[in-house]
Chain A
Amino acid sequence: MSEVVVAHHDDHHDHGPDKGLARWLFTTNHKDIGTLYLWFSFTMFLIGGVMALIIRTELFQPGLQFIDPAFFNQMTTNHGLIMVFGAIMPAFVGLANWLVPMMVGAPDMALPRMNNLSFWILPFAFAMLISTLFMEGGGPNFGWTFYAPLSTTYAPDTVTYFIFGVHLMGASSIMGSINIIATILNMRAPGMTLMKMPLFVWTWLITAYLLLAVMPVLAGAVTMMLFDIHFGTSFFNAAGGGDPVMFQHIFWFFGHPEVYIMILPAFGIVSQIIPTFARKPLFGYDSMVYATASIAFLSFIVWAHHMFTVGMPLAGQLFFMYSTMLIAVPTGVKVFNWTATMWRGSMTFETPMLFAIAFVILFTIGGFSGLMLAITPVDYQYHDTYFVVAHFHYVLVPGALFSIIAAVYYWLPKWCGRMYDESLGKLHFWLSFIGVNVTFFPQHFSGLAGMPRRIPDYALQFADFNMVSSIGAFIFGFSQVFFLYVLIKTIRSGEPATDRVWEGAHGLEWTLPSPAPYHSFTTPPNVTDAEAHS
């Protein structure tokens, strides 16, 4: 192995991983912790996926056939919670763990012990959440948005487990974010100035600040719920002088930045992958950074677009409508830059690039349906219909999730030193691409026609759209099991990967051998113009 591994002056930790289970329990290595996060999120993704398929099975035909409505509500709620907090967010944190130190030329994360803690509380948080499904009274059934008083006065008794689960998830995210910010601000190799950082690092830096700003507000919201439920306060209880609408304001003050927490790192990933396979530098690097920062800022002043129908003064409706539409401007800048990067590039279409291009196209569709929803008067019709479901699944599945899958295909050879099988990767892509569109595109139509969300039964005229949607969901679901097979096959028996892996790849991580050594950059690398944005 290369000389970077053998750093003899550095004698207060081991040079290789421990053996067995202890390695994973006590590890403070950013690569190990990244791996833990990624496998954890994949597990949660499969569990959340099973819940989605239970929902789609019930909705395959009109009428109630498989599960009772109370259980249906628990499935929609837990599917949402698990996918948001258990699959998407930890996957991005896992990618940050693996990649941020290697990209900025640091030996590890800034706070390795805290890193271990922030991962290991997650399994407890989710064990607590999921175990409620098997308890008397059932698990959370009030929607992932847990509006009071559904989640307080009318909640099942297990809501207290849910509240503590959310507290733990929040603590984990906060610790992870502090770690990421400290790493990026303090541990960059000499010469890696802020405006030379890879975009994945930039977007994560901004995301980490968003997390620090809103996770505490979420913690506050669930704490108020806890007090209302157990200590007789009336934050959200109208009878005692509280206001349930205030819950929605507090929730969405967290919730809207939260949706950007789930998409900004995706923007970063796509901004790394497209230049590699277009063999051109990213178009408009500076404008990408500024666009990300403006999206982050704007995300704090648009929250009430989720609440147009609860009643608001006209001035408020106009403000939230226009500020929401304003977000489309920096988002448009990004889509423009990705397209311009591909323009006249010598493009090749390996699996990561296919997922990245699909991201650009399908995320844009989600952005457009978002714009439609932002128009206050029409939102009165679309609100709480399947149109909203279609919107957020387009931005989250072929958006956030596709970017994560693209990232795994792109960096996996660096992580494990083996190349995935290109034709299996492409097959996975096409199955996912078809599956996702067959599932979610018809939901635009059933939503526009008035089908309400979160209801286990529907009127007959929606039957065809729903049947198509359910078929798509099964195609999509099983192609992710296929993804698992592709991953295991790569890790076990893939062809050895080269150090550079991709002909057009630039960045410090590609200067390391494949697989990346357990300890990398114990001496700061030389940041050349070829490996950093200049």
Chain B
Amino acid sequence: MSRNIGSTGGHGRTVGKLCLMVCGMFAFGFALVPLYDMFCEVTGLGGRTGDQYAYDPASMQKDSSRLVKVNFVTNTNDGMAWEFWAESGGVRVHPGEVKEVKFYVRNPTKQRMVGQAIPSVVPGRAAQYFHKTECFCFNNQVLEPGETLEMPMRFIVDPDLPKNVPTVSLSYALFDITEMAAGNMKSRAEG
């Protein structure tokens, strides 16, 4: 008899290696989350914009030779009762110039609610050239019943924006995060 029947003897090394592989792939599944974020930032997939933009005003060159059209789109996510609008549907800016636009929300309900706006830029490859120096989307908003809030948003279009992108659209989706903010474990948006 050359082999060991019915015991795990002799298979320990194989099983050990395979278990390592399983653990590695389980970890890889979670590693996909930061990897995906990095990938999105590099490629603009999903039109993600970055956090608050810190820059040196002296080094920012205004490119007066062209104008870029920036459109604003405001949406409320399904089940979100607030009114949400921008002071204008779009502006023309020179790359490198700081521009301020006002957004407004109103809570028409009888409850105190918390909202969170999530930005996204189209086309995706313009996302990394769209810098927000101030945005209501960096925080959430708490509105009392009937309250209206004016929210300034300041941005710069990077002078490196490719020349073949004449128009950039910035869209905000406003989510109701009242329950989440209340520390409710279940973030169910009933609707």
Contacts and interface: CB of A to CB of B under 8 A. Distances in A.
Q: Say whether A associates with B.
A: yes
A512 interface: no
B187 A182 contact: no
A12 interface: yes
A246 interface: yes
Contact of B125 (A234, A243, A313): A313
Contacts of A245: 46
Contacts of A106: 3
Interface string A217-251: 11111001000111110110111110101100110
Interface in B17-41: 18-19, 21-23, 25-26, 28-30, 32-33, 36, 40
Interface stretch (A40-48, A183-191, A343-351, A501-509): A183-191
A386 interface: no
Interface in B170-184: 173, 175-177, 180, 183-184
B187 A212 contact: no
Contact of B18 (A12, A153, A178): A178
A382 B188 CA distance: 33
A313 B44 contact: yes
B45 A313 contact: yes
Contacts of B77: 238-239
A140 to B, nearest CB: 16
Given A111-B11, A229-B186, A253 B22 contact: no
Contact of A238 (B8, B43, B118): B118
Nearest to B48: A243
A524 interface: yes
Interface in A161-201: 174, 177-178, 181-182, 185-187, 190
Contacts of B21: 212-213
A219 B29 contact: yes
Most buried by A among B5, B32, B175: B5
B28 to A, nearest CB: 7
Nearest to A234: B187
B32 A250 contact: yes
B114 to A, nearest CB: 10
A20 interface: no
Nearest to A218: B29
B3 A107 contact: yes
A488 interface: no
A311 B124 contact: yes
A313 B185 contact: no
A29 to B, nearest CB: 10
A216 B22 contact: yes
B186 A240 contact: no
B36 A249 contact: yes
A10 interface: yes
Interface of A: 9-10, 12-13, 28, 106-108, 110-113, 153-154, 174, 177-178, 181-182, 185-187, 190, 212-221, 224, 228-232, 234-235, 237-241, 243, 245-246, 249-250, 253, 311-313, 316, 522-524
Contact of A230 (B28, B180, B185): B185
Interface of B: 1-3, 5-6, 8, 10-11, 14-15, 18-19, 21-23, 25-26, 28-30, 32-33, 36, 40, 43-46, 77, 116, 118, 124-125, 173, 175-177, 180, 183-189, 191
A157 to B, nearest CB: 10
Contacts of B116: 239-240
A250 B173 CA distance: 24
Contact of A524 (B3, B44, B45, B185): B3
Given A181-B14, A182-B15, A230-B186, A28 B6 contact: yes
20 contacts: A153-B188, A187-B3, A212-B25, A213-B25, A215-B25, A216-B22, A216-B23, A217-B28, A220-B28, A232-B186, A238-B118, A239-B180, A240-B177, A245-B46, A249-B36, A253-B32, A313-B125, A316-B43, A523-B1, A524-B2
Contacts of A214: 25
B10 A238 contact: no
Nearest to A519: B5
Contact of B187 (A107, A190, A240, A312): A240
A303 B32 CA distance: 14
B18 A190 contact: no
B26 A9 contact: no
Contacts of A523: 1
Contacts of B3: 106-107, 187, 524
Given A214-B25, A220-B32, 17 more contacts: A10-B6, A212-B18, A212-B22, A216-B22, A217-B32, A219-B29, A230-B185, A238-B77, A238-B173, A239-B118, A239-B187, A245-B46, A246-B32, A250-B29, A253-B32, A311-B45, A524-B3
Contacts of A110: 8, 11, 14
A153 B5 CA distance: 50
Contacts of B29: 216-221, 250
B25 A232 contact: no
A228 B23 CA distance: 22
B26 A182 contact: no
Nearest to B47: A311
B10 A313 contact: no
Most A Cβ at <10 Å: residue of B6, B36, B77: B6
Contacts of B185: 230-232
Contacts of B18: 177-178, 181-182, 212
Contacts of B176: 239
A235 to B, nearest CB: 6
